[in-house]
Structure 1
Amino acid sequence: MKITALLILLFSFLFGCLYFERAKTKDELPSRGEFYGEVLKVEPYFYGNKVWFRLSSGEEIIFIAHHGIFYPGMNCLLTLTSKEVKEGLNPFRPTTKELARAQGVADLYEFKPRDRAVCKESEVAIESIRYELFRFSDKLSGLAKGLFQALVLNVENQLPSEYLETLKKQGLYHQLAISGFNLGILYGILYKAFLFLLKRFPFLFKHYPLQVYAMILSLPGALVVLFLSGFAGSALRAFFFLLLFVFSKIFFRQTSSIFILLLTAFILCLFDPYLIGNLSFQFSFLATLGLLLGNLYWQKIGLSPANLWQKILYLNLQGFFISTLISLILLPLMLYRIGYFSVATPVNNLIASFFWSFIFILLSLLSALIYFVNDDLAKILIEVVGVIFKWYMKIPLFDWIYIPSLSVNLLTLYFLVLPFFFFLIQKLVIKESSKKILSLKPFAKILSLLFVFTFLILLYNVFNFFYKKTDFVIVFKDKNFPHILVKNQDKYSLLVNLTAKDIDVFKAKYFPVYYKLGVKRFECVFNFSPFNPYSIFSRDFEVKKVSTVEEIRYLENEVCDPRMFELIPLDEQAYILEIKGLTLLLGFSSKVSLVIPAELSIFYNKPKNREILPFDDVYVESERQSAIIILPKDGYALVFSERERRASELAYFLFPFVPYYFEGSFAKKIVFHRINLP
């Protein structure tokens, strides 16, 4: 059974990966043009709407509508612009195409204010029921609206950003995702209710145990949650797992739950291969696997509580053990997704489970069902839930987070090596023990774990030692947020150009990138505008010093430790940045007309006259397609784009070791001119 289960999982993964590779070779849709098709579903998206749209050619796309009214079932002819045209490619952020494929669509677009659409009503779609609940949520207060949309309709972006950030750091963000937990609550209540009723009429149900009939009758409740979630990947996995579990009970088969889970993944990936890249599906699958394994291992311990207090302690210890195992299994994916890991997740889960299970999730689902009977009563109920949630968020739960010192690509490689090393060591221990008089086979797993733990610490320290020795500069070429990250050995600094209104978007877009590069502390943050961002950065990072353009312009303060970098103002639109012998000219205007010696010139706006550039062969134009990465070395620098890094398999997995220690052909080499600057 174990071998069959592993083969099923392996085949599912290979099939999904092959499908993704084939999807890359398909003909791409135009970056801008007119499209005709049908609106499939509409969801709120920050200050607009996210619209799923099926083209007349059969492909599905998603577009963000900043204006206009769309609802399911409409047929429209409209003009759209691809989001990839607008967005840059930054380290450890997926491309627009990758995000689109993970959602099972051909591309992501925008419906901008200047765009127009001609639409007509069509037949009523079943998705209109869900759309009606979105319209109901618009009548609610801000917090109640965000909570209702997250826990019932699987749209969490309407909750206040400070609440979302707090839940992430507490390790409770998964409570907002509709998965087996939400589905199981309604299903469990219906199961108990039907079982109670069936016991009153046992003579009507003779062929199967009453529990089986109760399971079957409760399935529509799980289907309702699946529909309300918009058939989210996590909810889809939970529903099919439940369906296969019920079928196994009907046919009196004592099938392993783990086998059912792997079979569920195989069937879903077979019918919808895009799920293999869906993060919601991945998190749900691994969390459920951890739950089943945790329960299996806990049962092997064989504890038997004798009284009520022991039973309470037993249940809490079981919950803590299972939650810890789930957290460890999700650790690599969490680090790859957001760059940090909440250490206190198991403890917070024990404290918060009651609120989420019996108040927030249950009452939110109940209010959605009541709405179709009495919308006033539903509104009162969900508003009360919102008030309770506001009080709940004041509970001082633990928000300890762990940020690795390595970049996320090295961590991924690190976690991939460990399982192979564990199985290899285990086989060697068993093989060697068979040659001895005293067999070590019963202790093979324990010895293997000790070896792996030792290897884990050694490998991490080796990676960390060499990573700390590397230097790099990343120029984030973003029209809205141009900025530079400088790594000097194990210290980081940042040069940004932010205003107060930019903070929320900048934080959501770039803070995860910093985490994934191993940034825990900034030696200095310099802002080219008068706004001081200390209060924003200090919430998430240790910050030694924050300076603004006013300080360097009027007070002539030192921006940063000269060992990190030196910033020399030339005028209001141009600066010289010196980093370990590398000189960069930073120009913020297309009218800059400075002819100075420089190894590399970076203009945030393309100069109209290219003759003013110091050296054409090393000029880096800030075109919006890929970040620029610069590695200063002794007497020269290596320059390449993020797009070039991803194209190199070695640099993709081993950056910055490749090309810092092992120079590749993809990086451009720039020799320092060693001219003294004024």
Structure 2
Amino acid sequence: MLTFLFSLLYGNLTFSEKEFSQEEKRQKFVVKILKVEPFYEACKVLAQNKNFEKLEFTSKSACSLRPGQTCELFLKVKKRFLNPYMPSLGERLLVKEIIGEYVHLENLTTFCVEGEASFQEGLRWRLFNFSQGLSPLAKGLFQALVLGVENQLPFEYLETLKSQGLYHQLAISGFNLAILYGLLYKLMRIFLSYTGIVRFGVPLQIWASLFALPGAFLILLLSGFQPPTIRAFFFLIFLLLGKLLFRNTQALLILFLAGAFLVLLSPELVGNISFQLSFVATFALLIGDWLWRSSSFISEAQASQGLGKRCLLNSLYALWLSLLVSLLTSPFILGLSGEIPVATPINNLIAGPFWSFLFIPVSILSALIALISEPLAKFIMELLAQIFSFYIELPLFTLKWSPSIPLNLFYLLLFMGLFIFLLLGKIGPSSRRYICVGLILVLLLYSLLVDMYKQVEYLIVPKFSQNKAFLFKDKESFYLFLWVKEGRSPSRELFPLLKKLGVRRIDKILLWRDTSEANIGLVEEDLRRHFDIGVIYHQEDLALDPTLRLFVPGKEIILLGDNSFLVEFKGLTLQVVRGFLKKEMVMPYVEVLLAERISPSVSHEGVRIFSERERNFALYFVNTEKGLYFFSEEGKRQDPLQRLFFPFFIDLGFVKIKSPIVLKGD
């Protein structure tokens, strides 16, 4: 345990010390292609420069590249924006162990010469090429369950799995490794029992474990050595070493030993969410198994010889483990999506056999067959896709929960709850009474934070590559102005952010279409699927009734034309301009300007000006009893107090830009 804690400390120090910077201009690179993977409608490439530094770039034409090639190409920095609860650029690069994220400039000449790829990536490339000839559903299943690329599954299937809390089944993890290893172990044990291998004095179980080990390595190889499979493989290695040395080493100790070894070997794993989820899930399984076996009631029940009771106990055991895993991993899931699928334990119990004995093993089997006979492998995968299309129609539960407070306050509540339970454990022995008292105190704290958050008023302007959004919080109500770009749904970037801010209901929404091709209907459908929506206005509604008040007094959107509008918030006026902002376009009494490009003639005196081409962080305007405060996400992250307690205690860390203003109708 001490070794594991030391390794975490070492990893965190290494993780926080490194800094990254990227020049935001076009650059020519000569790189060796290491890995090529599908990435939504494009491809993502991992490459290595002459200094053996790794970098990553994306483009549609990159799909024609292949591992082993040496290419001369032009890249520009891929813009990353600093929004609430999102990792910074340095954190992203450090976790990926790369020096930069880029976009391939496809309009400029790319020259490549063939070279030798690694065995691993050559194998993966061959399987990727095989999957391109499959139907969309079969291709998505194959690439997710065999190669670890889950973004190619059709959108409707991805959304269904997310709503059911079963999206983790698509990701290659220790679960996939355990399934193949377990199947091979059973087969090897049966096969070796008919041989004379036991004459060597080593138990049959040890021989079966050793002969099944290549199956675990195969998953590691096909996944591209992803952190969860690395953790699972080393856990398995240490477990086998313990058995070979005839030591009855506890599995929990082996887990910490494997984790410490990997973190010391690669400190960047400390910040890798996949590694964290894999480690915590395995920890939950081991703790759950120990608690189950330690229960005297369970021991007495297991002594029963009835088939019905044994089936019931096995089902309860699986449900208990799934419940504990969901509980311990829920803070991590909440940090990713802003919500927790409550029905995951029950859905795992119902759907688990389909994944464990059908989808995962058959997909891996088809990958092996594809190396010998692609037509047969294609037939198997298409048949599996048809079965999956029937499976996805099963009426599973889709219940989700998200907190009514920002994510940072919810994490603070979790730490306070842990402290309360530890304190109660010191006061008296563990009992149901102390557990009930602890739960009541935590619920009271949660209610208090919810009530405090209801009194907060703010305007947040996040920064995205395409869509623009303005989120108003008027105490208990939320209002959203969403500027939708062509062909871009905000669900991937905006919706998780809103949920992490405690948004569950949006009372009024104004949808502004940037072009006639923007699919407003799809955006509206996505909004209603993810949130409780009051009223949705469109720009046509304002054309019919120019006097329409959209939100509430003091928090309003005023349209000035197709390319400009005013945002009013507690006496502060923001002017937003699409395109080039000239001096004569600036409205009187405007205090904040946001435009794509700004003329040098625009005066800076008394006005905060932000060019959307240069701004890469979210903006905050928070109203308190002491006045109106302005700050950026960049500034917020430099103050630990604000990162922990946002949106409280704003006056302790930022400069006031307006005195309190009481508007009529507030």
Q: TM-score, normalised by structure 1?
A: 0.91
Aligned mate of 2:471, from 466, 480, 485 = 485
Between 257-266 and 42-51, the greater mean CA deviation after superposition: 42-51
Pick from 628, 644, 648 the counterpart of residue 653 of structure 1.
Answer: 644
Deviating more after overlay: 518-527 vs 72-81: 72-81
For the pair 1:412 / 2:411, whether they are aligned, the reply is yes
- Residue number among 586, 590, 593 corresponding to 1:602 in the alignment: 593
Q: Superposition pairs for residues 362-511 of structure 1, below 5 Å?
A: 362-429=361-428, 443-444=429-430, 446-478=432-464, 480-499=466-485, 501-503=487-489, 506-511=490-495
* Structure 2 residue identity aligned to 1:291: L
Superposed CA offset, 1:345-385 (max 9, x none): 11100110111111110110000011112111100001111
Task: After superposition, give the CA deviation of every residue in 1:21-76 in whole Å (9 maximum; x if it has no partner).
Answer: 2322x676776422333221111111221111122212211111331422112222
Partner of 1:110: 103
Equivalence for 2:35: 41
For 2:97, the aligned partner's letter is G
- 1:539 counterpart residue number: 529
In the alignment, which residue of structure 2 is the partner of 1:81?
76
- Please tell me the residue identity of whatever aligns with 1:606: R
1:97/1:107 contact within 8 Å kept: no
Q: Which residue of 2 aligns with 1:172?
A: 166
* Aligned equivalent of 2:149, options 143, 150, 155: 155
Once the two structures are TM-superposed, the CA of residue 571 in structure 1 deviates from its matched residue by 3.1
Whether the aligned pair in 2 keeps the contact of 1:584 and 1:598 (CA below 8 Å) is no
The alpha-carbon deviation at position 671 of structure 1 amounts to: 4.4
CA gap of 1:58–1:405, structure 2 versus 1, over 3 A, is same
Indicate conservation of the 8 Å contact 1:179/1:284, yes or no: yes
Aligned residue number for residue 433 of structure 1: none
CA deviation vs aligned residue, 1:66-110 (integer Å, no higher than 9, x gap): 314221122223222221xx2322111223332221122222112
Task: Assess if the C-alpha contact under 8 Å between 2:628 and 2:659 holds in 1.
Answer: yes
Q: Cα–Cα, structure 1 residues 462 and 31, in superposed 2: closer, same or farther, change >3 Å?
A: farther
Q: Cα offset for 1:448?
A: 4.3
Q: 1:159 to 1:40 in 2, by over 3 A?
A: same
* Structure 2 unmatched ranges of 5 or more: none
CA distance in structure 2 between the aligned counterparts of 1:28 and 1:574, rounded to whole angstroms:
32
Deviates more, 1:567-576 or 1:226-235: 567-576
Query: Could you tell me which residue of structure 1 aligns to residue 571 of structure 2?
Result: 581
> Alignment partner of 1:484: what SS?
strand
RMSD, aligned α-carbons:
2.3
1:135 aligns with 2:124: no
Aligned-pair distance for 1:122?
1.9
> SS of the residue aligned with 1:255?
coil
Equivalent of residue 215 in structure 1, options 209, 212, 225: 209
Deviation at 1:517, TM superposition (A): 0.4
Identify the range of structure 1 (554-563 vs 361-370) with the bigger mean alpha-carbon deviation.
554-563
Alpha-carbon distance change, 611 to 36 in structure 1, aligned in 2, over 3 angstroms: closer
TM-score under structure 2 length normalisation = 0.93
* Deviation readout 1:616-644 (Å, 9 max, x if unpaired): 43344433311111113458421111111
2:97 is the alignment partner of 1:97: no
The reply on whether 1:637 has 2:628 as its aligned counterpart is yes
| 3-state secondary structure, aligned to 2:256 | helix
Q: Which runs of 5+ in 1 are unaligned?
A: 430-442
Q: Could you tell me how far 1:479 is from its partner in structure 2?
A: 5.0
Q: 1:425 to 1:95 in 2, by over 3 A?
A: same
The answer (yes or no) to whether the contact 2:342–2:399 under 8 Å persists in 1 is yes
For 1:53 and 1:605, the matched residues in 2 are separated by 33
On the 8 A contact 1:103/1:275 being kept in 2, the answer is: no
Identity in percent: 35
Aligned length: 649
Cα displacement (A) at 1:612:
6.9
Secondary structure of 1:603 counterpart? strand
Note the 1:206-355 alignment, pairs <5 A: 206-301=200-295, 302=299, 303-304=301-302, 305-355=304-354
Superposed displacement of residue 602, structure 1: 3.0
Q: Which amino acid aligns with 1:524?
A: K
Partner of 1:71: 66
Q: Could you tell me how far apart the structure 2 residues matched to 1:232 and 1:602 are? A: 45
The equivalent of 1:8 in structure 2 is 3
Q: Give the letter for the 1:72 counterpart.
A: P
Please state how far the C-alpha of 1:176 moved relative to its aligned partner.
Answer: 0.8
Describe the superposition over 1:136-182 as per-residue Cα deviations: whole angstroms up to 9, x where unpaired: 00010000000000000000010112221221221111101111211
Structure 1 contact 152–365 (Cα < 8 Å) conserved: yes
List aligned pairs for 1:519-598, cutoff 5 A: 519-529=503-513, 531=520, 533-556=523-546, 558-563=548-553, 565-591=555-581, 593-598=584-589
- Range 50-59 or range 326-335, more displaced: 50-59
